[in-house]
Structure 1
C-alpha cells in the first residue's frame, strides 16, 4: 500500500514541530539547566506540553478520531504512576487525548526504550522533557531509574509517570512469548493482554512513595473498537483509529500494599482484570467499557475549553513551522543559530549520552554546593 497524503501530513507535521520546537523554543532555555535545574524543569515541562497538544489536535480535529473515557478519571494535578496495557506501539501518544481533558500534560513523563532518544527532533524533545529512557536490562536500568526518580522527588515537581509493565505491544509473536511464560509459571493464558513484568513497577512505586512524591496509581485500559493502528507505518498509510476508548481506575497510594511481593501480586491482579474487561469490551455490543459511556468523575476541562486548546494548538504550530522555514530562508543569523543548536544536541548526545543525564549531573553539582555551604555555616557556628 502507498503512503497516504493525510498520513504523511500527520507524521511530517509532528516531526517538523518537534524538530523546530527543540531548536527554537527549547534551545534558548538550555543554558538555564546549568544554573538552576529545578527552574529549567519547570519551564521546559510547560513548553513541551504545548507540543503534546498537537497530536491531539490532529487526531481529533483533522482526522475525526472519537475519544471515549470512562471510569474514575483523575484528580487534577496529583502525582501518580500510570500503568496501561500496550495494545499498539502508539498507545502513549493516544493517551494524551485523555490527559488533556482529565489532567495536565505538563506532568507526564514516559518510561520508554533508550534508542528513541537518538531520533532528531522527537528524541531531543524527549531528552529535554526528562523522559525515563531504559535499555530493558534491569541490571543497567535500576540505577538510572532510581537516580531519575530521586531527582523528581528532590525538586518537588509533580509528575505522572507512564509505564507499560508488559514491556512491549501486543502482537502475535509477543502473545506466543507471553503464553510460554504463562505455562512456565502456571498462569492463565491471556488473549487481550500480555503478562506484566512487575519488577520495574514495584521499584517505581516504592521509590516514589519513599520520596513522598506519589498520590495514586492510575490503571488505564485502552481499546480500539473499530480498527487498530499497530505501528507508525499504519499512520503513514492513513489508517487512523476511528475510536479510542480509555477506562480509568484510580487507586490512592494509601490503598496499595506495603510489601514488594504483595505489590507485585497487586499488579498481576490488575492485568487479570484487564483481560476480563477487554473480553467483555470486544464481545459486547456496542463495544464499550461502560455501555452508558459516562465517567464517574467529570473532566477538569470543559469540552469547549478542550476544543479551544486544540484549535489554538493547530493554528499555532502550523504558523510556527511556516515561520521557521521563512526565517531559515531569509535570515543568515537564524541559520547560524539553527546550526549551533543542532550541533549542541548532536554533540551532547555523543559526549554525555543525553540532556536528561546532563540535567541530573547539574542537579547533583548544585546539591553538593548547597551541602558544602551548609557545612561551612555549621562549622562557623560551632567555632
Structure 2
C-alpha cells in the first residue's frame, strides 16, 4: 500500500514540499509580519506564532495522511495553556517533527520553542522561519549558551509569553557512536551503562527551570518518552530515502511545579533519575512494542483540546492550503518577474540581518530593548 511513499521518490517529495512551503512561507507570509515587532512585541509574537504553528501542521498532515505514520499518545493529560518545559529523549535527529503530532492534539503547537544547534538557523527558508519563531539556537558550549538562553528567556518572560520550551537534555540523538561515548562517560564516572538513552546533560535543564521558576513563568515539566516500534527515521538521509516509521509512540508524564525539588543538586538528581526510568521504560517498550500505560490520551473522550475528527479536518485543510500555496506561488513567480525580484530582495535581507543582528530573533530582542527599555528580569 505504501510503496512509492517509502522510497526515494516519496522521501524526496516530502523533503521538497517541506523546503518549498517553509521557504515560500517565510518569504511571503512571515516577512510581511516583521513590522509588527515595532508596534507591539506581544502582538507580533502572537501572530507569527500562530502562522508558524499552522505551517507545522503540514508535515504532520503529510506524515499521517499520506505516508501512513500512526501516532499513539499515552500517559497524563495536559491542561491547555500551561507554561512548561518539555524534556524528551532524543532517539533520532527528527524527533521534534514527530512531536508536532502530539502537540497539535493538545492545541499547543503554536507555543512551542525548540532548543536547536545554531547551524540550523542559516538554512534558507526553514532556518529563517525558525528565527522568526524565536527558537533558541545554541552552540553546545555552556559559557556561550548560557548567555543565549538567558537573553531569550528574559525576552519571553518580559512579554509574558506562554512558552512551551522543548529541551533534549541528551544534547544529541542516539546512535551507535553517541551511545559508546555516553557509556565511556558512564564508565569514567561509575554510572550505569544505557542502551536506549544517553546520559543527560543537566546544566542547561537546571538553569532553565530555576530561571523560569524565579520569574513565575513555569507551571510544570512535561516529561515525554518517544519510541519507534516499527522503524526509525534516524537522520535527513533516511528522510530523503523515505524510511518513515510506521508508528511513533509518545508517553507523557506531567510533573507540576510544586512537586519539583528546590536546590540545584536535587534538580540534577531529579533529571538523571528520569533518564534512568526512561532506560527501563524503553527496554520494556521495545519488547512489548508499546508503552505499558494504556491510558490513551489521543481519544474521543480524552479531554484534550482537539478530538480525532477535528484533528483529521485540520490535517486535510493544511494539505489543501499549503499544497495550493506552493503551486500558486511557484506559478506566480515563474510568470511575474516582480515576485521573483521580491524573493531575491527578501533573501538578501535575511542574509544581511543575520550578519548584522545575528538573526531575526536577536533583532526582535534588540528592538524590544531599544524601544521599551531594559528587560525587567536579570
Q: Do the two structures share a fold, i.e. TM-score over 0.5? A: yes
**Contact 1:74/1:103 (<8 A) preserved:** no
Offset of residue 352 of structure 1: 1.5
SS at match of 2:373: helix
Q: Distance in 1 between matches of 2:365 and 2:224?
A: 30
Q: How many residues align?
A: 368
RMSD: 1.6
With over 3 angstroms needed to count, the CA separation of the structure-2 counterparts of 1:130 and 1:370, relative to structure 1, is: closer
Counterpart of 1:38 in 2: which secondary structure? helix
Q: Mapping of 1:233-312 within 5 angstroms?
A: 233-284=237-288, 287-290=289-292, 292=294, 294-295=296-297, 298-312=303-317
Match of 2:94 among 85, 90, 93: 90
In the other structure, the counterpart of 1:380 is none
Q: Identify the residue that residue 335 of structure 2 maps to in structure 1.
A: 330
1:71-86 equivalent positions in 2, closer than 5 A: 71-86=75-90
Matched, 1:149 2:153: yes
State the Cα distance separating 1:370 from its structure 2 match.
10
**Structure 2: distance between partners of 1:239 and 1:19:** 24
- Match of 2:175? 171
Partner Cα distance (1:282, 1:161) in 2: 28
Give the TM-score normalised by structure 1.
Answer: 0.93
Deviation of 1:100 (Å): 0.5
Q: 1:368 to 1:294 in 2, by over 3 A?
A: closer
Task: Show the counterpart of 2:73.
Answer: 69
Tell me how far 1:38 sits from its aligned partner. Answer: 2.1
Is 2:120 the partner of 1:126? no
- The separation in 2 between residues aligned to 1:292 and 1:80, in whole angstroms, is 24
Write the deviation string for residues 289-321 of structure 1: whole angstroms up to 9, x where unpaired.
Answer: 036462395422100000000000000000000
Question: Which residue number corresponds to residue 314 of structure 1?
Answer: 319
Q: Tell me what 1:343 maps to.
A: 348
* Higher deviation after alignment, 163-172 or 23-32: 23-32
The correspondence of residues 366-381 of structure 1 with structure 2, limited to 5 A, is: 366-368=371-373
Residue deviations 1:26-65 (CA, integer Å, cap 9, x gap): 0111122233322211111011011100110000000110
Deviation at 1:333, TM superposition (A): 2.7
- CA-CA distance at 1:369 after TM superposition: 8.2
CA distance in 2, matches of 1:133, 1:369: 22
TM-score (norm 2): 0.94
SS at match of 1:195: coil
- In the TM superposition, what are the counterparts of 1:152-231 in structure 2 within 5 Å? 152-231=156-235
Contact 1:72-1:249 within 8 A present in 2 as well = yes
Is the Cα contact below 8 Å between 1:63 and 1:240 reproduced in 2? yes
* 1:138-163 deviations in Å (ceiling 9; x for gaps): 00110110111111111011110000
